[in-house]
């Protein structure tokens, strides 16, 4: 495969499937809408991705591919405002995008998995623009993968029709693995180093990374990982439970006893209209046990890891009935009020802080503390932009993305223009991600996590962050004690599954 012709305004590279013509944009060469697998349509719906077919001549890679079919919560009129992709969308969506430094040779590579509850989003959204990464010497890859019912769906008829060695229930995760395989096989012609790949993602993207770190098929495809607001205590669905949800979805569509062909004939829009939860599935093939159980027993990819949370993760509760749902799970009481004196007894604030710490901060700290040969770094994002401080005191879920990518001017919520302080904080945080991708360490002044010292890098108004010891420690200790029962139950369930399936584990 030939290297990039750096003297051209429209650089051409040759990947395994054929020649691609990109664009020179400032300090970067950019290729958009690059297919990494065949369209997952017809008989390939819900199947593992297949390598894309070769093409003749030069394929123009100037424009993004279409986003996957998707839908958000029913109470959100415009999902673009919360990270969804606008129409048009298409099942023919398995494309990726690259930003490469001009004249790059052996550059570190970063592969981004977007958030959106595995039900919405796309690698083409403007706040995932990779210009700042290319400017600072990194080849950035963003990608589309199947979402919602098309990316996370199981049904007994599909199980029966799928070859015994092919994973089930989460083709969206298989798409992510296919992206990493494509990067391994092709990234060198873009100037990237296939032996220095950092996989990073936010929210559902972070959840997926934690699952991929326990999946044998993904081992060796990435060498470092960054998990932004990815939690760590959210159980995966056993295959039987995922199939039961699939049966309910089929029934809602008027299909009482469909075969695989009938399911694959359902229009995509009808499938995306069925609300559900979407995530990893314990199918015995891709995932042999719950990722939480794997993390607890030390069975995960032992690569350098950055993991962290935002101080206002509870902004997720503002739609989809989240506040009411979580309020039924965590009942405000005197014990919780003692953990969070800053809530001043306000029940809604107790629910919100409990959600942040049990859903995000507690599991992030637990993941960082798992014994390993490599190191882990723990952070908290606690910066609210200058123009928003009158309305809020904590950093919303996903707010760090615009700082990591230095795309404050591309926020989808109509935010006021960024201030000089905002941009300084953004530059400092972005530099930490660059350093980690380049060197495997986010800075000499940021020590690896050690539960004895409990050091967090807190990104507040100080550019580059400030080291703080014991951040939220008392509350997180409480939630970790509560989580021990969940972890024990999952490990017991996995042992029983192994015993009765007759497999070793």
Give the pLDDT confidence of 170-216 residue by residue, as tens digits.
999 999 999 999 999 999 999 999 999 999 999 999 999 999 999 99
- The least confident of 7-21, 57-71, 101-115 is 7-21
Find, among 13, 176, 6, the residue nearest to 98 by Cα.
13
* Per-residue burial over 61-93, b = 16 or more CB atoms within 10 Å of its CB, e = otherwise: beebbbbbbbbbbeebeebeebbbbeeebebeb
Give me the chain's average pLDDT, please: 94
Residue 17 has pLDDT above 90, yes or no: yes
- pLDDT for residue 6: 52
Residue 430 lies in a domain: yes
- The least confident of 126-135, 324-333, 466-475 is 324-333
Question: How far apart, in whole angstroms, are the C-alpha atoms of residue 74 and residue 250?
Answer: 19
Kindly name the residue from 313, 385, 400, 406 that is annotated as catalytic: 313
- pLDDT for residue 93: 98
**Mean of pLDDT values over 89-111:** 97
- pLDDT for residue 1: 44
Residue 433 lies in a domain: yes
- pLDDT for residue 500: 65
Residue 175 lies in a domain: yes
Kindly name the residue from 397, 430, 478, 479 that is annotated as catalytic: 397
- pLDDT for residue 433: 98
Q: Is 313 noted as a catalytic residue in this protein?
A: yes
Residue 5 lies in a domain: no
- pLDDT for residue 363: 98
Q: Is 203 noted as a catalytic residue in this protein?
A: yes
368 close to 380: Cβ distance less than 8 angstroms? no
| Largest pairwise CA distance in the chain | 70
The domain containing residue 151 runs over which residues?
Answer: 12-501
**Mean of pLDDT values over 60-66:** 98
**H helix and E strand count, the chain:** 16, 16
Q: What is the pLDDT of residues 254-292, one digit of tens each?
A: 999 999 999 999 999 999 999 999 999 999 999 999 999
Put the strands of the sheet holding 12-15 in their side by side order.
Answer: 12-15, 18-21, 58-60
- pLDDT for residue 4: 55
CA distances from 15 to 32, 189, 456 (A): 14, 7, 41
- pLDDT for residue 431: 98
Residue 407 has pLDDT above 90, yes or no: yes
In total, how many domains does the chain have? 1
Residue 184 lies in a domain: yes
Q: Is 397 noted as a catalytic residue in this protein?
A: yes
- pLDDT for residue 501: 64
Residue 4 lies in a domain: no
- pLDDT for residue 174: 98
377 close to 227: Cβ distance less than 8 angstroms? no
Residue 368 has pLDDT above 80, yes or no: yes
Beta-strand relationship, 18-21 and 12-15 = antiparallel
**Mean of pLDDT values over 423-443:** 98
Residue 33 lies in a domain: yes
Residue 6 lies in a domain: no
Kindly name the residue from 117, 124, 203, 426 that is annotated as catalytic: 203
In percent, how much of the chain has pLDDT > 90? 87
150: domain CATH number is: 3.40.50.1820
- pLDDT for residue 136: 98
- Residue 421: left (phi > 0), alpha (psi -120 to 50), or beta? alpha
Give pTM, 2 decimals: 0.96
Q: What is the pLDDT of residues 336-356, one digit of tens each?
A: 999 999 999 999 999 999 999
Residue 505 has pLDDT above 80, yes or no: no
In percent, how much of the chain has pLDDT > 70? 97
- pLDDT tier for residue 8 given thresholds of 50, 70 and 90: low
- How many CB atoms within 10 Å of residue 164? 5
Task: Sort 263 into a burial class: Cβ within 10 Å, 0-12 / 13-18 / 19+.
Answer: buried
């Amino acid at each position: 495969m030939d290297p990039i012709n750096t003297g051209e305004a429209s650089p051409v590279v040759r990947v395994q499937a054929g020649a691609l013509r990109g664009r020179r944009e400032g300090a970067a060469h950019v290729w958009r809408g690059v297919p990494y697998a065949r369209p997952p349509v017809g008989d390939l719906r819900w199947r593992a991705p297949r390598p894309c077919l070769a093409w003749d001549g030069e394929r123009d890679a100037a424009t993004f591919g279409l986003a996957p079919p998707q839908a958000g919560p029913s109470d959100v009129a415009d999902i673009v405002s919360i990270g969804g992709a606008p129409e048009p969308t298409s099942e023919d969506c398995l494309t990726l995008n690259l930003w490469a430094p001009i004249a790059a040779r052996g550059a570190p590579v970063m592969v981004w998995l977007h958030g959106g509850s595995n039900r919405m989003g796309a690698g083409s959204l403007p706040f995932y623009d990779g210009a700042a990464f290319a400017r600072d010497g990194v080849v950035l890859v963003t990608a589309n993968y199947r979402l919602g019912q098309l990316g996370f769906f199981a049904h007994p008829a599909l199980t029966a029709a799928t070859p015994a060695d092919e994973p089930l229930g989460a083709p969206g995760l298989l798409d992510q693995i296919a992206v990493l395989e494509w990067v391994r096989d092709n990234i060198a012609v873009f100037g990237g180093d296939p032996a220095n790949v950092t996989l990073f993602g936010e929210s559902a993207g972070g959840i997926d990374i934690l699952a991929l770190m326990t999946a044998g098929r993904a081992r060796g495809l990435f060498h470092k990982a960054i998990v932004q607001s990815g939690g760590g205590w959210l159980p995966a669905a056993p295959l039987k439970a995922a199939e039961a949800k699939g049966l309910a979805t089929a029934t809602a569509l008027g299909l009482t006893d469909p075969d695989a062909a009938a399911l694959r004939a359902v229009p995509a829009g009808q499938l995306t209209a069925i609300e559900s939860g979407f995530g990893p599935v314990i199918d015995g093939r891709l995932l042999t046990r719950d990722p939480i159980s794997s993390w607890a027993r030390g069975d995960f990819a032992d690569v350098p890891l950055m993991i962290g949370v935002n101080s206002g993760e509870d902004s997720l509760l503002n739609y989809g009935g989240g506040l009411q749902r979580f309020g039924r799970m965590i009942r405000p009481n005197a014990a919780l009020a003692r953990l969070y004196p800053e809530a001043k007894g306000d029940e809604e604030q107790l629910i919100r802080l409990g959600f942040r710490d049990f859903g995000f901060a507690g599991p992030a700290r637990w993941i960082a503390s798992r014994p390993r040969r490599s190191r882990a770094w723990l952070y908290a994002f606690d910066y609210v932009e200058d123009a928003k401080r009158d309305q809020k005191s904590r950093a919303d879920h996903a707010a760090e993305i615009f700082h990591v990518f230095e795309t404050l001017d591309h926020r989808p919520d109509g935010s006021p223009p960024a201030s000089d302080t905002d941009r300084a904080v953004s530059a400092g945080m972005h530099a930490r991600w660059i350093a980690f991708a380049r060197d495997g360490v986010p800075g000499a002044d940021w020590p690896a996590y050690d539960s004895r010292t409990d050091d967090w890098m807190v990104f507040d108004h100080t550019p580059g962050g400030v080291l703080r010891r014991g951040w939220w420690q008392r509350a997180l200790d409480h939630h970790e004690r509560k989580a021990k029962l969940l972890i024990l139950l999952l490990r017991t369930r996995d042992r029983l599954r192994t015993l009765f399936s007759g497999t070793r584990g």
